[in-house]
Structure 1
Amino acid sequence: MSVLVVGSVNADVTVRAARIPAPGETVLGEEARVSPGGKGANQAVAAALAGSSVTLCGAVGRDTFRAPALSGLTRAGVDLAGLHELDAPTGLALITVAASGENAITVASGANARVTSAHLPTDLSGFTHLLLQNELPSEVNREAARRAHAAGLTVLHNAAPARQAPMEQPDPELLAHTHHLIVNEHELAAFASGGGEALETQARALLTRGPRAVTVTLGAQGSLTVTADAVDRLPAFPVTPVDTTGAGDTFCGVLTAWLAQGHPLPTALHAAGVAAALACTRPGAQDAMPDRAEIAAALAR
């Protein structure tokens, strides 16, 4: 039940405001808050809080943002044996959170962009699952997935954020080594180049390219998961959102943790959806993530 997360580590600088600024607009907000973030670190924390043994492979700088970037990982008990200190700034995310709970994020990759395949662990014998995102260089993800697949690990890839330059078809080798692909609607469109087809049709098309399962997260509409044998539509767990910043990462981390603990896919998807909803009820990313006891209590309700 040991999970390896290969991914980004950031410090998040968050400002709450009445609304997200339009292009060219300045909006006054509240005091800035610095907290731990990065999709890799977020998902590692979510998986650890959900009860799995988690190791993170990533990188930070030696600057003042290093400590806040690592604080949540340390509190959650994530193993940082795979963490590297590089001569580059620690990754930084600038986040505006609107009164509605929606957010807009700009990321300065920093040390995350300097990670190479040479930083990947060579011994994967202690792991059962690998979790990837799109905030490290694509060649690192490709090599991590290839090694993990060859070693018998289950590979989950959260293809977020969608690659924007160029907006091209996904890496066929990475897809071929991915067991479970997790995307939102926008990322699915970038992957599938769907010309208006239904989400299920777009997701099912990706199954022919390697993944055994494709999950589309739909925010307040829940999630859709397609496998060769089934289509699983789950409604969202009802909450009043305060901040949606870490919801997607919570979903991915908890899904991976529950699968690593031996739960069947429908049960893991249900737990992940509930956990993601709970994370929206508090401000922040890692600070808002529920632990296993809270997830279990919500499932029981």
Structure 2
Amino acid sequence: MITDPSKPTIVVLGSINMDLVTTTEHRPQPGETVLGTGFTMVPGGKGANQAIAAQRAGGRVEFLGAVGDDVFAGELRGVLRDSGVAIGRLRTVTGPSGIAAIVVDSSGENSIIVVGGANATMTALTDDDLAVIASADILLCQLEIPVGAVAAAVTHASANATVVMLNPSPAQHLPSDLWAHVDVAVVNSGEAKDLGHDLDPVAHLVVTHGAAGAHYRGPGGRELSQPSPQVDVVDTTGAGDTFTGALATAWHRGPEQALAWASTAGALATTRLGASTSIPTHEQITAAIEHGD
């Protein structure tokens, strides 16, 4: 149920981290020490990235998650708030916020280590959290927080006619009854291979292939392939999250338009360093599509 097609309401349940990003000519092999060419701290986390991407792409987004009481918490709250994401349900817990240590090489490819921190405390949802989910058009989840909270959110959303979009990343096998409540699954090609037949019950499956674009499989055997715009890649960090958030915002337009919108957003995100800092706006996505970029 989309109450305002121009701005669907999207609840994102997920992680928020401070990304510690090091750039280098090549990523180190086991036992190897390499010299870095730069370092920056950028707010990230799959949940926060997707929330910001959905908001900037034209949605009305509320974020459900947790930060710690450390030096990173204020900036993590601020990046969501400054992007227009509602943070009234963002918890503060004792201990460190989540972090991700990211190495980006000269080709823009990355390696990432995530430490959950406050994200690991998201083990259950409150009645107020559930009420927000029930009133939304779309619930968007990932798997960087405990699966129990994701399962509770997905089940509640399904019971209240809220579209459930799941990005099962990091990939892990989930109970079959959870998959039964998922309307749209968004995975990259590696995750699709890892999950295999787990994805069969999902009505709408979107598989991303990086620079090669994305593929859609839907009811009745419908399939679509969407090429990715060609851009000068600087950093692929956050591109998949940007794709997913933009897809959620455009989902009500139908798979064909949603994939085109999301693929453009994801490509634009690779042209700048960082995750949340690289996410394009509605206007930038529109301009890129109109100019055929």
Q: TM-score w.r.t. structure 2 length?
A: 0.93
Structure 1 residue 185 corresponds to structure 2 residue 202 = no
Any stretches of 5+ residues in structure 1 without a counterpart? 164-168, 193-201
Alpha-carbon deviations, 1:152-199, whole Å to 9, x = none? Answer: 100000011213xxxxx332122111000011111112211xxxxxxx
Cα deviations across residues 239-258 of structure 1 (Å, max 9, x unaligned)?
Answer: 11000001000000000011
1:256 to 227, 242, 248: 248
Residues 73-93 of structure 1: CA deviation (Å, up to 9, x unaligned): 122110001101111210000
Out of 143, 147, 150, the position equivalent to 1:134 is 143
1:80 equivalent in alignment to 2:87: yes
Question: Could you tell me which amino acid in structure 2 is paired with residue 181 of structure 1?
Answer: A
Aligned partner letter, 1:216: V
User: Which portions of structure 1, spanning 4 or more consecutive aligned residues, are displaced by more than 3 angstroms?
Assistant: none
Partner SS for 2:96:
coil
Matched residue, 1:243? 235
Q: SS of the residue aligned with 2:112? A: strand
Residue 256 of structure 1: SS of its match in structure 2?
A: helix
| Aligned pair partner of 1:146 in 155, 166, 172 | 155
- The whole-number CA distance in structure 1 between the counterparts of 2:69 and 2:199 is 40
User: Quick one: structure 1 residues 75 and 183, their matched pair in 2 at CA, closer, same or farther if it must change by over 3 Å?
Assistant: same
Change (3 A) 1:125 1:188: closer
- Alignment length (residue pairs): 281
Which amino acid in structure 1 is aligned with residue 269 of structure 2?
A
- Separation (CA, whole Å) in 1 of partners of 2:230 and 2:247: 19
Structure 1 letter corresponding to 2:124: S
Whole-Å Cα distance in 1 between the matches of residues 96 and 47 of structure 2?
Answer: 17
Is residue 288 from structure 1 mapped to residue 278 from structure 2 by the alignment? yes
Q: Are the counterparts in 1 of residues 214 and 225 from structure 2 also a CA contact under 8 Å?
A: yes
- Match for residue 219 of structure 1? 210
Q: Give the Cα separation in 2 of the matches to 1:44 and 1:86.
A: 20
Give the fraction of aligned pairs with identical amino acids, expressed as a percent.
38
Which residue matches 1:197?
Answer: none
TM-aligned CA deviation for residue 70 of structure 1:
2.5
Alignment correspondent of 1:228: 219
Conserved in 1, the CA contact under 8 Å of 2:135 and 2:162? no
SS for the counterpart of 1:79 is coil
Letter of the aligned partner of 2:182 in structure 1? T
Q: 1:29 aligns with which of 36, 42, 46?
A: 36
Structure 2's unaligned 5+ residue stretches are 1-7
Q: Which amino acid aligns with 2:233?
A: P
Aligned to 1:206: 199
Residue pairs, 1:101-120, within 5 angstroms: 101-119=108-126
Give the alignment partner of residue 43 of structure 1, picking from 44, 50, 61: 50
Give me the whole-angstrom Cα distance separating, in 1, the residues matched to 2:74 and 2:34. 29
The equivalent residue for 1:55 is 62
